[in-house]
Structure formats: C-alpha cells, structure tokens
Structure 1
C-alpha cells in the first residue's frame, strides 16, 4: 500500500498521478458534497481517491478501467478504501460497443492505451521522457531530483522508461456511455473526468444528446494537442458549456493539454 491507502501495481505511478491530480481542479472546476463523479480511465483509482478525500467520502464515483490487471487493483481499492462509494466498471468507453486491442505496459501502466503499439512505442518513450524531465525541472516529484543536471536527468528518465518496450496486448470491451448511465440510474454528472490516452473523442461521442444536459462539468486530458484540441473543445461549446483549453510547459513537452468545460 502507498501512503494514501491505495494498492498499486507500480508505486512510483501513484506519486506521478498524484502530481497530476491538482491540475484537474482548475478553470472553475469545483465539487460539493453529494457529487456524482465519472472517472473515465481510472487506472487504480488515484483521481477517484483525491475526489473522495476532497469531499470527505460524501461522493458517488463510477470508475471505468478496461485492462484486467488494472481493474483487479481498482476493484480491490474500491472494496478496501472507498467504503462503498466507488463502483468499479471493467470496460472502457467508446462511441459504440466493441472489443479493442489495448497495449498494456506492466512497468508503466499509465501509458497503456488502444492507441499505442510496438510501432509507436519508441516515439512515445521520447515524448514521455521530455514531459517527465520538464515536470522534474519545474519542481515536480521533489526538490532533490530538480538539482540533477538536465542531460543526466534525461538519461535517467529515458532508462527508466525502457519499460515501455515491454508490452502485452489485451482484448477488452468498450461501450458507449449513455447505456451505462441508464443501467446505473445515473441522473446527474457533477464531473466527467476523461483521461484515456488518445481516445477522448470516442468517449464523448458515446454520450447521446438526451444525456448531455446531465453533465455539469467536465475535464478532459487531450493527447495530440494541436490535432485534437479544437475538436474536443467544440464538442462542449456546441452544447452550451463555457470552455477553457490550457497547456503548461510539461504538457507542451508531451503534446497534451487540458480542456475544462463548465455550465
């Protein structure tokens, strides 16, 4: 177990994800006790844990994780840490029901995705290395690492991320969100959080027009920022949200950014 009580596959990932969590609560994103939160791309539940702690457990969370090794840990955390407030769902979200091949990286599970494969893994390793180095040099992950010279730091991070060369392929189920809302009687979504490593638009396209009024706020991590930012932003703008698209230096190095949508 790590310091906040969660079981994890790679403890270093929990620290990395905890570093990211604060970035989701920006641009006017707020939650009040009694909220209903959807954690799409939950991994082992770090974002869900942050929400649970922020609201002192007065929250209902639905967490989606399609990869079996990650879901097993998420489900264990749901039972042991969340006091019945988190429902772990063993599938991903998409525009239509399907089965997809996901690349799973046991040594770096946070980069697992249906959009990555053996042909793209080296480019991904370089991109992620640049992002992690920028995060460390900005003070993330502690002051000690910040003092390491940049060339040495790049080498260290790059070697650490050689684990991305070790991948497994899992065939997993994906479903559109709207039928899931019906099945679970979800009649409001105070925050829709989406972090799905490149499949953001597919997730949003699975929400029927009849359900969009249920969404009060959303925050989406967008991969391929220049290519996909405007399309994600337009999904929300067309439905009456106030939209704020942001990218900091760490995200720029990784070619990602955040889209915040509020009513």
Structure 2
C-alpha cells in the first residue's frame, strides 16, 4: 500500500481506478458496471448528468464510458474522495467534468459537521447516527473489532450549498438535467429540498439510493411524484435486508 493510502487497482480487464478502499471500490463497481443499478434507457447521446455524492468517481466514469459526450457536474464534499476522483478522471483522460467540493443540502452553510470514514469512504455522511443499524450488522457479520476499524470516524467540516443555487450561479448554460443521480448517505431529503420548482420542471430522470426505514423512502417518493415524475423502486442488491435500502427511479 502506498504511503498516501491510495492504490491503483484493476476492476475488470483493462479498467483501472484509484481507491483508498479496494473492497468498497469493487463493491461499487459491481453495483454500477455489472448490475446496471443506475442504467436508464432513453437518455440523449450527450446527456447533462448531475452526480450528487460522486465519491471517487465510478458513476461518472460509467456515464462517460456509456455517453462520451455527456456533460457531468459532480458534487463530493470529502477532500480525500475529491483527490481520488480527480486522479481517476485524469487516469481515464477525462477533462470535461466539473467537480464541486460541496455537500448538497436545503440551506447553504460555510461549514457543516461531516463524518468521514477513511476505510469506507463511500459511507461518509452528514448524519452518522443513521449508521447505527449498519454498525450492528457489520459487528454481527465481521466481528466487533473489524467493524469498529472499518467505521472508525474522522470528523471534518464541509461547505453546504443548494443544487439550484449552484446551477444558477455556476452553470447558467444548463437548460435541462437529463439525469440526477443521488447517493448521499442519509441526506436525500435535504438535497431534494434544495431543488427549486423550475429545476424540477427541467429534470428528466432521477435515480436515488434511499432507506425505507423511518419513512424516508416514502417521503422521497412523495416528493418526486409531487414534481410530476413517475416513480418505481427495487430493493438494492447485495445489501443486508435489514437495512431496507432501495434504488428509486423517477422519470418524467
């Protein structure tokens, strides 16, 4: 392992990525590239895609592989994830993706408490209390010591912005959003509250990973339907069923 903790791995024949967590990168790659978790038919040849919760960039790489002319606007608040994301974009010769180093929410803030998990960076979250059940399940399946090490937290402060505010100030050229992908580890409703009605009207599709616990999935689906989208959902594969994780798709 290099001193900075970042390693280059091969995920499939000829397809490599940088990561600080090989096991997590392989899991996410399987979700996106092999199981087509976020696959949608009917996108244009050059779609405008918002990647909210970009992590190390695997979804963005998937979109750019499938739609080379895609315009991708990515959001990722964790500095270490951003560093790896940018290395992955460079590795794959991609120079037309905009990366915003912010957490998307309902109200802007100069700094908000955020929990970063160096060994499982994709689980980093603004709401670590929402991981209580996952911690219990990990301890049951992996043992308490390994689970505690995997989810050893580091507290950081990250800026927060509303998606509609960023689009208005930084991307006035964007007239439509063909796909809004959301994987924000418990901040789904915050993010949706930061999208203005005018931006909903020009959003063609949404894919979002969300928990059905505490009524969150119901509220997310109600919000999407309220903005004129047709909603469907399926249980997320390869997840412990107790987590009640779903992939929700909404289309106009």
TM band (smaller chain): 0.7 to 0.9
Alpha-carbon offset, residue 216 of structure 1: 0.4
| TM-score (norm: length of structure 1) | 0.81
Please tell me the root mean square deviation across aligned C-alpha atoms, in Å: 2.2
Describe how 1:99-138 pairs up with structure 2 within 5 A.
Answer: 99-116=111-128, 123-127=133-137
State how far apart, in whole Å, the 1-side matches of 2:138 and 2:187 are.
17
Residue ranges of structure 2 left out of the alignment (5+ in a row): 1-7
Q: 1:234 to 1:103 in 2, by over 3 A?
A: same
Residue 200 in 1 paired to residue 211 in 2? Answer: no
Alpha-carbon offset, residue 249 of structure 1: 6.2
Aligned equivalent of 1:137 = none
Choose between structure 1 and 2: higher helix proportion.
Answer: 1
SS at match of 2:160: strand
Describe how 1:236-255 pairs up with structure 2 within 5 A.
Answer: 236-248=224-236, 250-251=238-239, 252-255=241-244
Aligned equivalent of 2:37 = 24
| 1:80 aligned residue (80, 86, 91) | 91
Describe how 1:224-235 pairs up with structure 2 within 5 A.
Answer: 224-225=212-213, 227-235=215-223
Alpha-carbon offset, residue 246 of structure 1: 2.1
Aligned equivalent of 1:58 = 69
Alpha-carbon offset, residue 155 of structure 1: 3.8
Alpha-carbon offset, residue 189 of structure 1: 0.9
CA contact 2:52–2:182 (8 Å) conserved in 1: yes
State how far apart, in whole Å, the 1-side matches of 2:237 and 2:80 are.
32
Residue ranges of structure 1 left out of the alignment (5+ in a row): 131-153
Aligned equivalent of 1:145 = none
State how far apart, in whole Å, the 2-side matches of 1:245 and 1:111 are.
21
Residue 91 in 1 paired to residue 80 in 2? Answer: no
Choose between structure 1 and 2: higher strand proportion.
Answer: 2
Q: How many residues align structurally?
A: 235
Alpha-carbon offset, residue 44 of structure 1: 0.4
Structure with bigger RCO (C-alpha 8 Å, 6+ apart): 1
